[in-house]
Structure formats: structure tokens, C-alpha cells
């Protein structure tokens, strides 16, 4: 699950909104929260779109994203 906690940034389950958000956070400092584990702060060092079957949703950008996050604290 991905959740934006950036003030003023709209968020919903629409695939295009999610794609735009994920693609915009490269080189951003984020907090990573995982169930049953401690939160940590990291820098998004890579965002890779892993191709999915063609879709009319989100201009064909609906699919799986891989984020590389380096822990900074």
C-alpha cells in the first residue's frame, strides 16, 4: 500500500493518480512503514515501472512499480 501524507496532494484509488504520484517521488525522502517492523526514513533512489498487460486505465500505466529505497536513518 502507498499513502501520500503530503499536504495538499490529492490521493485516491484511481490508477492514473497513483501512477503520477509514484513517478513523482524519485529522489524524495520518505518514511517507510511496514506492518510488524519499525518505520524508517529512506531516499527513493529508483522508480521502475514493470510492464503489465496493456490497459485502457491510466494511459496504459496501470501495473506494478518497483521502488529502490536507501535507508538514511
Interval 12-65: pLDDT, tens = 556 777 778 888 888 999 988 888 999 999 999 998 888 766 666 656 666 778
C-alpha cell at 10: 490529492
Please give the Cα distance from 72 to 7 (Å, whole number).
23
Output the pTM of the full model: 0.64
pLDDT of residue 29: 92
DSSP 46-69: EEEEEP-S--SGGGGT-SEEEEEE
Amino acid at each position: 500500500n502507498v499513502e501520500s501524507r503530503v499536504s495538499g496532494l490529492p490521493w485516491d484509488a484511481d490508477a492514473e493518480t497513483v501512477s503520477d504520484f509514484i513517478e513523482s517521488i524519485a529522489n524524495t525522502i520518505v518514511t517507510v512503514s511496514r506492518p510488524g517492523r519499525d518505520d524508517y526514513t529512506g531516499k527513493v533512489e529508483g522508480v521502475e515501472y514493470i510492464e503489465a498487460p496493456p490497459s485502457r486505465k491510466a494511459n496504459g500505466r496501470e501495473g506494478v512499480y518497483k521502488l529502490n529505497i536507501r535507508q538514511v536513518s
